[in-house]
């Protein structure tokens, strides 16, 4: 029953069964049950319940704490933004008298915690200083793709926090990102075709947009090179998709992209690729999937259209308000996961803003 509740992310009911096991039936939960509950607590950001479970684990002499349990508790503190407590768990695992091994998953969990709380310098220090020391006594794959990827995300985070006038720092972190991309993530990219993940293509585009904070249009040439001119870049990164309810209808799908990449591509298409948009959408509105996936399962009864609103969609909505001719977003009548650019606003935008001219207000 606890496992079923965990699978449904029903932390309240799972904890009820957990307490019944201990208090009423005097059954000691095993490590697998506890780890399952810790995972749910992490996803629910329920640190208080997780700490009760962790205390149960530590106080039960029949339970042997392993690297999965340690990583599960690291994950709770990482997702809750409790960095001090997260590092205390790491120290607990590395005690000489009762050593508990960790692995690269533990390390990526810690790095994610630093990133989540914008402690970028601390994340770099952990990667450069502590992980090599930890690897002496723990089996840590130092070439783990996610470890390296998170280091590159640290440089993206730094670029986001810098303002447009800090050009030297922007340039430094952008070059560091490119070095990681070319030398560590895809070291053979210059000599032969390499498959690049969707996520890393998104990061790469985002890095150029952030580098050109003063003018997004200066990033256009770099992004076009990445998408259309690099012969060794093999990827499935695309903003074109089909309507899940009408396979003959094309849509612009920004769901899996970062907001920065999504907003840039929307500007790019509306500024430089109007003919393509007109050809693809013909006389119908320009349609965007920019919130929840159109394949999401909505189970709530009532005003279900509101369930497709999301922070991602609202970012796109706010982006369109910054344009010289603001464009309204309207929910599609047949597929609520799709948002349409108001046709009258688009027509006025195309009339008032010539192709190739910056779409943003001065």
Tens-place pLDDT, residues 73-102: 999 999 999 999 999 999 999 999 999 999
As given in the structure block, the two tokens for residue 131 are: 């992980």
Give pLDDT, residue 237: 96
Which residues, other chains included, contact 44 with Cβ-Cβ below 8 Å and sequence gap of 6+?
A: 9, 11
pLDDT at 300 over 70: no
| pLDDT classification of 27: cutoffs 50, 70, 90 | confident
As given in the structure block, the two tokens for residue 175 are: 């070059």
As given in the structure block, the two tokens for residue 213 are: 């904070």
Give pLDDT, residue 291: 63
What domains can you pick out in the chain, each with its CATH number? 143-237 (no CATH), 240-352 (3.30.1370.110)
Cβ–Cβ contacts within 10 Å for residue 291, how many? 26
Task: Tell me how far apart the alpha carbons of residues 250 and 345 are, in angstroms, rounded to a whole number.
Answer: 20
- If DSSP states are collapsed to H, E and C, what string results for 59-119? HCCCCCCCHHHHHHHHHHHHHHCCHHHHHHHHHHHCCCCCCCCCCHHHHHHHHHHHHHCCC
Task: Tell me how far apart the alpha carbons of residues 328 and 182 are, in angstroms, rounded to a whole number.
Answer: 40
Give pLDDT, residue 94: 97
What integer best gives the mean pLDDT of the chain?
A: 92
User: 139 near 101, Cβ under 8 Å?
Assistant: yes
Mean pLDDT along residues 19-40: 84
Phi, psi of 287 (to 5 degrees): -110, 140
pLDDT at 299 over 70: no
As given in the structure block, the two tokens for residue 194 are: 């390499």
User: 65 near 53, Cβ under 8 Å?
Assistant: no
Task: Tell me the pairing of strands 194-196 and 233-235.
Answer: parallel
Give pLDDT, residue 136: 97
Tokens 């990681």 belong to which residue?
180
Q: Which of 78-92, 219-233, 269-283, 296-310 has the lowest mean pLDDT?
A: 296-310
Mean pLDDT along residues 251-269: 97
Give pLDDT, residue 201: 98
pLDDT at 1 over 80: no
Task: Tell me how far apart the alpha carbons of residues 239 and 229 are, in angstroms, rounded to a whole number.
Answer: 17
Q: b vs e for 198-236, b when ≥16 Cβ sit within 10 Å of the residue's Cβ? A: eebbbbbbbbbbbbbbeebbebbebbeebbeeeeebebe
**Pseudo-torsion of CA 72, 74, 75, 80, nearest 10°?**
130
pLDDT at 327 over 60: yes
Burial class (CB in 10 A: 0-12, 13-18, 19+), 38: buried
pLDDT in tens, 188-218: 999 999 999 999 999 999 999 999 999 999 9
Task: Tell me how far apart the alpha carbons of residues 268 and 305 are, in angstroms, rounded to a whole number.
Answer: 29
Mean pLDDT along residues 229-240: 96
Half-sphere exposure of 253 (CA within 13 A, CB side): 17
pLDDT at 32 over 80: yes
């Amino acid at each position: 029953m606890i496992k079923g509740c965990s699978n449904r992310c029903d932390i309240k009911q799972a904890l009820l069964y957990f307490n019944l096991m201990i208090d009423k039936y005097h059954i000691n939960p095993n490590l697998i049950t506890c780890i399952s509950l810790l995972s749910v607590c992490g996803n629910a950001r329920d640190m208080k319940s997780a700490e009760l479970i962790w205390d149960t684990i530590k106080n039960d002499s029949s339970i042997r704490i392993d690297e999965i349990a340690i990583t599960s508790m690291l994950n709770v503190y990482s997702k809750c933004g409790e960095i001090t407590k997260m590092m205390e768990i790491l120290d607990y695992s590395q005690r000489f008298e009762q050593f508990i091994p960790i692995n690269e998953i533990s390390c990526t969990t810690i790095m994610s915690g630093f990133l989540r709380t914008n402690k970028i310098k601390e994340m770099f220090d952990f990667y450069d200083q502590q992980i090599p020391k930890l690897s002496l006594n723990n089996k840590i794959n130092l070439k783990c793709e996610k470890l390296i990827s998170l280091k590159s995300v640290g440089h993206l985070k730094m670029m986001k926090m810098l303002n447009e006038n800090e050009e030297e720092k922007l340039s430094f972190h952008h070059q560091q990102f490119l070095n990681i991309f070319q030398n560590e993530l895809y070291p053979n990219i210059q000599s032969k075709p390499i498959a690049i993940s969707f996520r890393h293509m998104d990061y790469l585009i985002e890095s150029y947009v952030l580098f050109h904070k003063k003018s997004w249009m200066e990033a256009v040439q770099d992004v076009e090179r990445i998408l259309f001119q690099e012969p060794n870049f093999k990827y499935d990164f695309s903003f074109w998709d089909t309507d899940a309810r009408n396979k003959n209808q094309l849509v612009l799908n920004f769901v899996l992209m970062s907001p920065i990449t999504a907003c840039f591509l929307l500007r790019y298409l509306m500024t430089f690729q109007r003919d393509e948009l007109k050809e693809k959408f013909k006389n119908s509105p320009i349609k965007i999937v920019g919130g929840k996936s159109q394949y999401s399962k909505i189970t709530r009864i009532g005003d279900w259209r509101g369930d497709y609103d999301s922070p991602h969609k609202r970012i796109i909505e706010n982006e369109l308000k910054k344009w010289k001719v603001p464009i309204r977003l309207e929910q599609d009548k047949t597929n609520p996961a799709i948002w349409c650019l108001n046709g009258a606003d688009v027509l006025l935008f195309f009339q008032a803003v010539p192709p190739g001219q910056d779409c943003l207000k001065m």
